[in-house]
Amino acid sequence: MKKVLIHQPFKYGDYLIVIPIAQKLISLGYEVYLPFSSHTAELINYFDDIKFFEIGPIDLASSIKFCRENSCILINCQSPTGYDELFTTKGGKYFIEEMKYYVAEDIMRCGINYEDKFNLKWNRNIEKENSLIKLLNIDLNEDYVVAHLNGDNGRVGKVPFDEPRRVVRINKISGYTLLDWYPIILNSKAIYTIQSSAQCFVDAIKYKINHNELYLLNDTCLTDRLLVPAYGWNFKYFKKERLT
């Protein structure tokens, strides 16, 4: 069995983005290793078949060493070299998320494409999901919206003043992960989020959501342009100057 290592130990949302690549390769018969760091450690118990081990958040050297010692193919999704001109930030046509899939397919040549992102699967912890719903005092049938307004990178957004429904904010809560918010997100009536890990997750599951009220919010990073492939999202509350 051929072995593959996908290097993406840092950034929560990016880690979720590359897991479907690992799952696709496993379905094709590969043995897949996915190093994690302290930033992403809480996610590993939600996934079967992927082989995990811990390294530092920017420790590419450990991934390279592992590949040499274990005859692994390396897919560097965190800091790929030789693709700069293809990034939207460099004038290319691919967003960072899309580039991870492009790089994986460029190396593996086995039919990996960006649409695979929407096949993300994980082991749901129903007990934790229900516990979170109870903790937040949410009735999944009530008229509520969810919002993620504070990013790990310091970005801060705000829900529009004209939103009359209850706003449930996605925040870090000890003992729970972003994946445990799944039924709360799924049953919401609208979603507001800045460019963040929560937006990455929502985008990956958006075809399971029964509405199209997905709003990308402007945030306090005034100079940064659009970095996420928010296809089908509403940009009503996102600065037009940041879209080009």
In contact, 37 and 57? CB cutoff 8 Å: yes
Beta bridge partners of residue 166, listed in sequence order: 144
pLDDT tens string, the chain, 244 residues long: the values are 899 999 999 989 999 999 999 999 999 999 999 999 999 999 999 999 999 999 999 999 999 999 999 999 999 999 899 998 998 878 899 999 999 999 999 999 999 999 999 999 999 999 999 999 999 999 999 999 999 998 877 788 889 888 999 999 999 999 999 999 999 999 999 999 999 999 999 999 999 998 889 999 988 775 667 888 899 999 998 876 666 5
- In this structure, the strands spanning 3-7 and 214-216 are unpaired
Shared domain check, 80 and 23 = yes
Shared domain check, 220 and 135 = yes
Picking from 84, 119, 154, the residue at the C-terminal end of a domain is 119
E strand segments, 104-190: 144-148, 166-169
What is the predicted pLDDT for the residue at 224? 63
Range of the domain at 209: 126-243
- Backbone dihedral angles phi then psi of residue 153, each to the nearest 5 degrees: -90, 10
Picking from 119, 147, 170, the residue at the C-terminal end of a domain is 119
- The distance in angstroms from the start CA to the end CA of the chain is 45
Q: Which helix (H) or strand (E) holds 185?
A: helix 182-186
E strand segments, 43-188: 72-76, 144-148, 166-169
| Residues 6+ away with beta carbon under 8 Å from 142 | 166
Number of compact structural domains in the chain: 2
Shared domain check, 135 and 183 = yes
Query: CA 92, CA 176: separation in Å to the nearest integer?
Result: 37
Shared domain check, 195 and 147 = yes
Q: Give the number of other Cβ atoms within 10 Å of residue 114's Cβ.
A: 19
Shared domain check, 102 and 139 = no
Shared domain check, 139 and 232 = yes
Picking from 56, 91, 119, the residue at the C-terminal end of a domain is 119
Shared domain check, 114 and 19 = yes
- Token look-up 């985008």 returns 203
Query: CA 225, CA 215: separation in Å to the nearest integer?
Result: 16
In contact, 205 and 185? CB cutoff 8 Å: yes
